[in-house]
Structure 1
Amino acid sequence: MTAHETPRLQLSGLEVVLGRGVRANRVLHGISFEIPAGRTVGLVGESGSGKSTIAKTIVGIHAPSAGRILFDGVDIGRLRGRERARLRRRIQLIPQDPYSSLDPRRTIGQTLAEALDPRGASVRAHRARISELLRLVALDESAADRFPGEFSGGQRQRIAIARALAVEPELIIADEITSALDLSTQAEILQLFERLRRELRLTVLFVSHNLAVVRQVSDEVIVLLHGDIVEAGSAERVLSEPQQPYTQRLVASVPGAPGFSLEPQPGA
């Protein structure tokens, strides 16, 4: 990114406190980083490090107690009403759990139609776009007439990806999108996600505790520990030559993980 370009996403001094009174817990401590358009930043750390809190704060599930979140230079916290809702649609979250993220009472077509047009979720009106989205994630268009319970975990995650892409967002937040899946299915979803990332030139915040995955999909890596950034830099540098003891321990704990290759496998 050149000096005059505005980052797609910029966090500045972000603090988040969850709970109230004696139960209040400061989860994030002045987090600052940016993601240039078209780049992928991996956010890594152990459970409880604050990764998912950052993701949920960006999309408005949690409220910052201090700091700013800027999207294309616009302070999200200063927006209200329709302006805020409009900007939020440009940022889409792919959640961790493919089982609870879809309404079991709605067909896949209804779910995608609602993503396309929340006020008038007509499957008939959006049939062509729904079929296109399903093909994009390698599902048959007949999936539109079926319910979430008829699909495997990997297929549901494909549907969650299709839903996130429905409005052609400018930022995707992928929050541990493979952690609930078995190894072979994880590899399939990551291959799909990487293909879409390149073809659609997505800007991505990729949240994961798995460094083997992050290394293959990320341009930059940010390492979190107890709500603080302890190391950041290019994925190659941070994960090949970590400078901080905590990052060194994380990298040393990564197994060979052959199941996470993003290269198409023979017969796949």
Structure 2
Amino acid sequence: MSIDALLTVRDLHVTLGHGARAATVLTDVSLDIPKGAIVGLVGESGSGKSTLAKTIMGIHRAQAGAIEFQGETIAGPGSRPRRSANRAIQLVPQDPYSSLDPRRTVGQTLAEAIDPRRARLAAHRDAVVAALEAVALDDTAVDRYPHEFSGGQRQRIAIARALITEPELIVADEITSALDVSTQAEIIDLLIRLREDKGLTMLFITHNLALVERLCDQVAVLLHGRVAESGPASQVLASPASDYTRQLVASVPGGPGFTLESPAP
């Protein structure tokens, strides 16, 4: 594990399914997430991005290799996941609507994140309001239901739910993929501000290189379940070493240097 790494993935192998249906999804995957950094994970659909996220979260098991969090192994053959990691690592899913209970108010959902066994909104209202304000939603959101919000607002609620436990690491899995460009920009601005205010550490999973360029310090590129290339985001995007990364960069509108503010070609 690197000296400054909060989370380290080393030589990770993940196979999903059983028997004849088994398929190896990740092979020899390694990456470091330094404390206070935002690391991008990019690749086309089916490259293994979400599988890595779910393995970090303990949803999938690793057949070989290891994941270390704060110096302790939390995933790998024979490992016992550390209970405290359940709160210290939080997932923001791709589809916040399906992850938010439509029968619960936003306040109830966030209170449950604080104390799953005794989700008492009255006891946690101040913390809930503070979490919502941190993502630019006011206290009127507390007593409303998920269907009353736009897609971008629901994503803010999902981010607030992740933040309210004061995690060490957030895993953001394609959280802008269902949003229009202007709403994507708002969410990225929010993440940049949260990083400045809270020292946010994040694994940011996306297929959008423009977002990586704007948000991420480092990036790893997945191809067929293997890391094709990794390094500082500015370096990888400006001078990609692998053919696959060059193809990805070339496919971005405007080519290298494209950002959300760039005019469409």
1:260 aligns with 2:260: yes
Q: Show CA shifts across 1:96-154 (max 9, x none).
A: 11221111011000100000111110000001001101111111111110110111100
Distance in 2, matches of 1:85 and 1:255, equals 44
Return structure 1 stretches of 4+ with deviation > 3 angstroms: 256-259
- Indicate if the aligned counterparts of 1:6 and 1:73 stay in contact, CA closer than 8 A: no
Deviation of residue 90 (structure 1)?
Answer: 0.1
| Equivalent runs, 1:181-260 vs 2, <5 Å | 181-256=179-254, 260=260
Deviation at 1:166, TM superposition (A): 0.6
| Cα distance in 1 between the residues matched to 2:261 and 2:138 | 25
SS in 2 for 1:118: coil
Shift, 1:85, TM fit = 2.6
CA distance in structure 2 between the aligned counterparts of 1:9 and 1:32, rounded to whole angstroms? 11
Structure 2 counterpart SS, 1:128 = helix
1:41-75 deviation digits (Å, cap 9, x = unpaired)? 11011111111110111001111111111001100
Aligned-pair distance for 1:6?
A: 4.6
- Greater Cα offset, 251-260 or 194-203: 251-260
Find the aligned partners of 1:119 and 1:259 in 2 and give their Cα distance: 44
Taking every aligned residue pair, what percent have the same amino acid on both sides?
A: 60
Q: Distance in 1 between matches of 2:253 and 2:92?
A: 26
What displacement does 1:235 show?
0.6
Question: How many residue pairs are counted as aligned between the two chains?
Answer: 257
TM-score, length-scaled by structure 1:
0.92
Task: Determine the C-alpha separation between the residues in 2 that align with 1:105 and 1:18.
Answer: 33
Contact (CA 8 Å) 1:187, 1:259: kept in 2 or not? no
Identify which range, 168-177 or 252-261, moves more after superposition. Answer: 252-261
Q: Give the match's secondary structure for 1:185.
A: helix
Q: 2:36 aligns with which of 31, 34, 38?
A: 38
- Looking at structure 1, the residues matched to 150 and 4 of structure 2 have their Cα atoms a distance apart, in angstroms, of 40
2:237 alignment partner AA: L
Tell me the residue number matched to 2:156: 158
Unmatched runs of 5 consecutive residues or more in structure 1: 263-268
Q: Which runs of 5+ in 2 are unaligned?
A: none
Whether the 8 Å contact between 1:44 and 1:207 is mirrored in structure 2 is yes
1:183 and 1:259 in contact (8 A); partners too? no
Task: Show the counterpart of 2:73.
Answer: 75
> RMSD in angstroms over aligned alpha carbons?
1.7
Distance 2:10 2:216 in 1: 21
Letter in 1 for 2:160: A
- Contact residue 211 and residue 259 of structure 2 kept, 8 A: no
The separation in 1 between residues aligned to 2:196 and 2:89, in whole angstroms, is 18
Amino acid at match of 1:149: H
Equivalent of residue 48 in structure 2, options 47, 50, 54: 50
Q: Scaled by the length of structure 2, what TM-score is found?
A: 0.93
> 1:100 — aligned with what?
98
1:261, CA displacement in angstroms? 4.2
- Alignment partner for residue 63 of structure 1, among 51, 61, 64? 61
